[in-house]
Amino acid sequence: MLVLAHRGANRLALENTVAAMDAAVDLGADGVELDVHRTADGVLVVRHDAETADGPIGELTLSALQSVQPEVPVLAAVLDVCRGRLVNVEVKDSDPRAAEALVALLAGRSAGAHEDVVDEVLVSSFDVATVDRVRAAAPHLPTGFLSFGLPPDDALAIAIDHGHTAVHPDVWTLLQVDVPEFVTRAHDLGLQVNVWTVNDPLQVEQLRDAGVDAVITDDEQLYAFGDRRGDVRGRPR
Could you tell me if residue 154 is inside a domain?
A: yes
Q: What CATH number corresponds to the domain at position 19? A: 3.20.20.190
Strand partners for 123: 89, 143
Q: Is the pLDDT of residue 3 over 80?
A: yes
Could you tell me if residue 90 is inside a domain?
A: yes
Could you tell me if residue 236 is inside a domain?
A: no
Q: What is the pTM of this model?
A: 0.93
Could you tell me if residue 206 is inside a domain?
A: yes
CB atoms within 10 A of CB 172: 14
Could you tell me if residue 144 is inside a domain?
A: yes
Query: Percent of the chain beyond pLDDT 70?
Result: 93
pLDDT band, very low/low/confident/very high, at 237 (cuts 50, 70, 90) = very low
Could you tell me if residue 8 is inside a domain?
A: yes
Report the DSSP pairing between strands 51-52 and 55-56.
antiparallel
Determine if residue 7 is left, alpha or beta; phi over 0 gives left, psi from -120 to 50 gives alpha, anything else beta: left
Nearest-angstrom CA–CA distance, 213 and 105: 26
Strand partners for 117: 114
pLDDT band, very low/low/confident/very high, at 119 (cuts 50, 70, 90) = confident
CB atoms within 10 A of CB 96: 12
Nearest-angstrom CA–CA distance, 122 and 213: 13
Query: Percent of the chain beyond pLDDT 90?
Result: 89
Could you tell me if residue 79 is inside a domain?
A: yes
* Number of domains within the chain: 1
Segments forming the whole domain that contains residue 53: 2-225
Summarize the confidence of residues 58-68 as an average pLDDT.
Answer: 97
Per-residue model confidence (pLDDT) at position 116: 43
* Phi, then psi, of 228 in degrees rounded to 5: 55, 50
Could you tell me if residue 177 is inside a domain?
A: yes
Nearest-angstrom CA–CA distance, 135 and 76: 20
Per-residue model confidence (pLDDT) at position 229: 57
